[in-house]
Structure 1
Amino acid sequence: MMFISVDGGATKTVAVCYSEEGIIHGMGISGSGNYRTAGVEKAGKNIREAILRAVHRADVDESEITKFSIALAGVKDSNLKNELVSSIVDKERTSRVRVLNDGEAGFECRFPGMDGIVICPGTGMVSYGRKGNIFKRVSGWGWILGDEGGAFYIAKRALQETMKIYDGRSGIKSDIPDYVKDYFQINDLKEIVNKVYTNPPEIGSIASFASIVSKLAEKEDVLATLLMEESAAEAARCITSLRESMFGVEKVHFSGYGGLFRASNIYWDKIRKIVLDQHPDMIPSEPLYGYHAVIGSIYLMLKEENMDLKFDLDSEVKSIEEQIRRISEDERERYLLMH
């Protein structure tokens, strides 16, 4: 038996083709699978493209796929679900597709079948806690209403502080303004308005600047360090809020997954310190990256098929890393920002 699992994020879609033993045979990556940021038609096209790449690299025919699981934001219970699924697979195969909530599926990539707290700092920010049958979300309100601590938030704050420096409203010295000009390919900082006030906004492109802020913080740039501390504090608040509302004084594991963890260690180090300073009995587990989220969908698929006893998290992580090395250089550069 062969399966396909997909994680459709705001900036990238990851699809994997795997066997009933959980062995990954092929991976495909494409653009945004989030219908809110890409639109239904484009999101469906990107998901379809990632699936075809995964099937091709697994050297199997799509007709051999027993079931599909697709983890998406905001689609599980929406009337767009059927429209999106129909754009991904042939009509006669739609009954084989299970649509998952991306947060619930992603949670399993850190604590499969376990209680715990997971933060997910990608382009945005959302966090989840699970205790028995209770599953709770904190944050994840989008780039206007919330997402504090996520990549877009960090980039937005860096741009705000950059314009304060440009105006002479800040007493902080930083290399961030120079990196802003280089990243956005502008000669004068006032030109930034033409880069950020677009319709629709280039959320993913702006958010990617957060990795530069993180690296500058590691080099002890004062402003970058302050911004990473601010963002880590926001992420830590998600964890402590879930701890206090769900677990009380019980010990609980916490971890995360998301692209921000790949930029540098500083973000996770600060989050962990803040949380443990407040709750020293909590148990941290090292975070994974955004492209590991699809592991949660693999676990849920195998569980549904009563095959989860064969699931081994460490083996799945290693398998994902091996597949990352096998995908095309273009996919790595365009969607994972690996150069």
Structure 2
Amino acid sequence: MIEEEGCTLIFLGVDGGATKTVAIIADENGRLYGVGYSGSSSHHFVGYESAKMNVLKAVETALRYAGMSWGDIDGVCYGLSSVGDTPMDTEIVRSFVSEITPIDFILVNDVVNAYYATCLGEPGVVVVAGTGSIAYGRSGIYEVRVGGWGQLIGDEGSAVYIARRALQEATKACDGRGEYTILIDRIPRALGFKSLEEVTFNLMTMKISLIELARLAPVVAEAAVNGDRVAIDILKESGRELALLAIACLRRLRLEHGIVGASGGVFKSGALVWDTFKSIVKASYPHVEFTDPIYGWQPAAGAIVLAAYKHGIRIDRRVLTRLFEAIKVEEAKL
């Protein structure tokens, strides 16, 4: 058990997507009792059984770490990818969650977790930029989703998008059709190949998936730090695209004031993405308030916020910050 249990309501929150699943157990005061971590909970990427077992592993690890059982849990919220994408997707996820959860639960898309972890249920929007990208916003009874159209035709500003743009510019430079960039050498090295030709061959023969390309985003960020102008432009472009997601949400919700949050590893790419994102949003909506980006396991805190909210408890930013700090400590131990 991480902290001693008090006489308060205890909640289980789960956040799961294409790459990882995180479960946390916390109370209404932001005390963290247990954490669990596992692989992908996306049935599209790993299949029904593996998605279910990864969620179960994360939940059981959190319960064991906390020294608790299901009988100790007062509320549960799962924020999992694909929920709400189509009726069939939602039913598939609800089916495997029902098989492993013996009590009532809330089921939402993982972007909703990010919204509650940044906006705390207040009018506002959140932009999530990890492997893919999507935005979500709420104002009263109204909610909107923008983006999330997948790596082939959408997910602008995401890690896969950055990688795709880096490959495009590197191959142009290799041909002499574009400005020279150190990405010509750094991309193959990062993927374990000797040349861009090897990279493109393995992409075309589907030995590398688009999702695997997401690990190139930090390579682009490093090149930008080293002053590579092509990499700098790509990161600024990512920030612009992510800003357009936020602006579209704000416009559809008719929000002139509100909170704008951000979540996901792309926002770790440095000031080029974050500053570009903020400046473009601010130019169209000067009265919005930004919260600092959240990363890693922190979006799972949004599931705790939503579970508490359904029990009539409003978690404030002070409590949320306490929970964030505790989650960061546990994540660092991994």
Query: Could you state the TM-score of these two structures normalised by the residue count of structure 1?
Result: 0.86
Is the alpha carbon distance of 1:108 and 1:326 closer, same or farther for their aligned partners in structure 2, counting shifts above 3 Å?
closer
Is the alpha carbon distance of 1:321 and 1:159 closer, same or farther for their aligned partners in structure 2, counting shifts above 3 Å?
farther
Are residue 280 (structure 1) and residue 286 (structure 2) matched?
yes
Is the alpha carbon distance of 1:41 and 1:233 closer, same or farther for their aligned partners in structure 2, counting shifts above 3 Å?
same
Q: How does 1:3-22 map to 2 (within 5 A)?
A: 3-22=11-30
Question: How large is the RMSD of aligned CA atoms in angstroms?
Answer: 2.3
Deviation at 1:97, TM superposition (A): 3.0
| SS in structure 1 of the partner of residue 287 of structure 2 | coil
Deviation at 1:251, TM superposition (A): 2.7
- The aligned counterpart of 2:247 is 240
Deviation at 1:285, TM superposition (A): 2.5
Deviation at 1:210, TM superposition (A): 0.9
Contact 2:30 2:319 survives alignment (8 Å): no
5+ unaligned residues in a row in structure 2: which ranges? Answer: 1-8
Are residue 133 (structure 1) and residue 146 (structure 2) matched?
no
Q: Partners in 2 of 1:257 and 1:75 — Cα distance?
A: 18
- The aligned counterpart of 2:129 is 121
| Residue identity (%) | 30
Q: 1:146 aligns with which of 154, 166, 169?
A: 154
Deviation at 1:295, TM superposition (A): 1.4
Q: How does 1:30-41 map to 2 (within 5 A)?
A: 30-41=38-49
Is the alpha carbon distance of 1:241 and 1:190 closer, same or farther for their aligned partners in structure 2, counting shifts above 3 Å?
same
| SS in structure 1 of the partner of residue 117 of structure 2 | coil
Contact 1:72 1:101 survives alignment (8 Å): yes
Contact 1:196 1:206 survives alignment (8 Å): no
| SS in structure 2 of the partner of residue 299 of structure 1 | helix
| SS in structure 2 of the partner of residue 211 of structure 1 | helix
| SS in structure 2 of the partner of residue 60 of structure 1 | coil
Contact 2:137 2:144 survives alignment (8 Å): yes
- Give deviations 1:160-186, integer Å, cap 9, x for gaps: 22222223322x121112221221011
| SS in structure 1 of the partner of residue 24 of structure 2 | strand
Q: Partners in 1 of 2:272 and 2:236 — Cα distance?
A: 9
Q: 2:213 aligns with which of 206, 219, 232?
A: 206
- The aligned counterpart of 1:337 is none
Deviation at 1:282, TM superposition (A): 3.1
- Give deviations 1:100-156, integer Å, cap 9, x for gaps: 222223211111121012111111111122222110111111111211111111111
5+ unaligned residues in a row in structure 1: which ranges? Answer: 333-339
Is the alpha carbon distance of 1:218 and 1:318 closer, same or farther for their aligned partners in structure 2, counting shifts above 3 Å?
farther
- The aligned counterpart of 1:251 is 257
Q: How does 1:1-339 map to 2 (within 5 A)?
A: 1-75=9-83, 77=87, 78-89=90-101, 93=102, 95-170=103-178, 172-197=179-204, 202-247=209-254, 250-306=256-312, 308-309=313-314, 311-327=315-331, 329=333, 332=334
| SS in structure 2 of the partner of residue 129 of structure 1 | strand
Query: Could you state the TM-score of these two structures normalised by the residue count of structure 2?
Result: 0.87
